[in-house]
Structure 1
Amino acid sequence: MSDPSTRKPGIGDFDFLVGPWKVTNRRLVAPLTGSPEWDEFPGTAVCHGTLFGGAAGLDEISFPAKGFSGLTLRLFDPVRAQWSLNRVNSRTGLLQPPVVGRFHDDGHGEFHGDDAHEGTPVPCRFVRSRITSVSAHWKQAFSTDGGQSWETNWTMALRRTEECAA
């Protein structure tokens, strides 16, 4: 992590993510239907380091049981003091619209953008929280009422590992 006394706000926010992780995923089987059924499956992730002095980063996550991987390029915009999280998955190879946001004083990060569920556009929110040197939490939620309420549909519990498996 950057020296807090010399770093600019936002720079280095994702330094905690550098390295390999084991990931426990929980994903709603039928999002936006009211169903309470979750699918749990393993994953591995590796953040390949930070770039641009902490203002960019690249990570890959693999879901062997599901047969696909994901890639995220994070970029910090110093003018807006916001991160854009730019995602692509191996099934489509198409770059998705970014989610944009920042970390707050309490240590959690919140990022918003546009997504689609079964072809229907929906607002999307990512939250990074419970960040320690050996663990972190991520969740994704969709909204059907313009962001007034959110349904969490995917969570990831990350646990640091020494094995680089992604």
Structure 2
Amino acid sequence: MNDFDFLHGSWDVANRRLTAPLGSGPATWVEFSGHAVVRPLFGGAGNIDEITFPTLGRQGVTLRLFDHETGRWSIHWSDSRTGRPDPPVVGGFTGDRGDFHGEDTYDGRPIGVHFTWYRLGRLFWILSAEPAASGAVDGKAEVRAVYWTYSGAPTTRPGAVPGVAGPARSGRDGLGPDTARWEHEFSADGGRTWELNWTMDLTRTGHVGA
């Protein structure tokens, strides 16, 4: 039930949005900034996510709740322009990817809605197996912290960090990812095809309580 613990904290958000989803003309995208603060609820079985779009002059709020009976999450979004919640999307995570589906209407026609969450970069420690050519003290291997975007479990590979000699071992810092991505899609044909219409690329600015 702690799938969304990685999101707790504050984030800068780079948005890219399609101006006319499901339109027949050429695709036109707009970009705008955002800042989000996510606070946990129910010991990790929920959270509330408040986002501000300063250049648009509006805000949004997301409520995420974990259903203990079904083991699935429901995600509820509302925009300050309407003050009304959209129909929820429901789903869960497999590894570092979460998929959530729902139904809504757009321009008077029924559509399918798909949210995708990606847990991306984590802060890793990198420990060289032998002293680096520079920076080592008294022949001891040095430790450096780096950001490494990855998918899946940490691996061992030589030459992973410039200046660190020999095979490098990596480990998670335990604080969760420092980058994440959200994607929003519509389908007007019952899920046979999907059109991407909004992305958010998130970069952490603080952890919970920071």
Instruction: Specify the alignment match of 1:8 in structure 2.
Output: none
Specify the alignment match of 2:154 in structure 1: none
Which range moved further: 68-77 or 126-135? 126-135
Q: Is the 8 A contact 2:178 2:203 kept in 1?
A: yes
- Rg (Cα) greater in structure: 2
What is the RMSD computed on CA atoms of the aligned residues?
1.6
AA partner of residue 89 (structure 2):
V
TM-score, normalised to structure 2, is 0.69
1:103 aligns with 2:93: yes
Q: 1:17 to 1:130 in 2, by over 3 A?
A: closer
Q: How far did 1:145 drift?
A: 0.8
- After superposition, give the CA deviation of every residue in 1:38-78 in whole Å (9 maximum; x if it has no partner): 10111110102x22121111111111111211111111012
Check if 1:148 corresponds to 2:192. Answer: yes
**Structure 2 counterpart of 1:161:** 205
Q: Which of 180, 183, 201 is 1:136 aligned to?
A: 180
Q: Does 1:124 align with 2:113?
A: yes
> 5+ unaligned residues in a row in structure 2: which ranges?
122-176
Which residue among 38, 41, 44 is the counterpart of 1:47? 38
TM-superposed deviation, 1:131? 2.8
With normalisation by structure 1, the TM-score equals 0.86
Structure 1 residues 149 and 57, CA gap change in structure 2 (3 angstroms): same
Match of 1:57 in 2: 47
Q: How many percent of aligned residue pairs carry the same amino acid?
A: 50
3-state SS of 1:138 partner:
strand
Query: C-alpha offsets along residues 126-156 of structure 1, whole Å, 9 cap, x if unaligned?
Result: 0001433210000000001101110000000
Q: Deviation at 1:93?
A: 0.6
Question: Aligned partners of 2:14, 2:80: CA distance in 1, in Å?
Answer: 19
Match of 1:85 among 75, 82, 91: 75
8 Å Cα contact 2:6/2:119 also seen in 1: no
CA distance in 2, matches of 1:163, 1:38: 31
- Are 1:27 and 2:17 an aligned pair? yes
Q: Greater shift after overlay, 90-99 or 34-43? A: 34-43
> How many residues get paired?
152
Counterpart for residue 65 of structure 2 = 75
2:18, 2:61 → 1: CA distance? 21
User: Any idea what SS the aligned residue of 1:53 has?
Assistant: helix
Provide the residue aligned with 1:4 in structure 2: none
Letter in 2 for 1:125: H
**CA shift at 1:109, angstroms?**
0.2
Q: CA deviation at 1:163?
A: 9.7
On the 8 A contact 2:91/2:101 being kept in 1, the answer is: yes
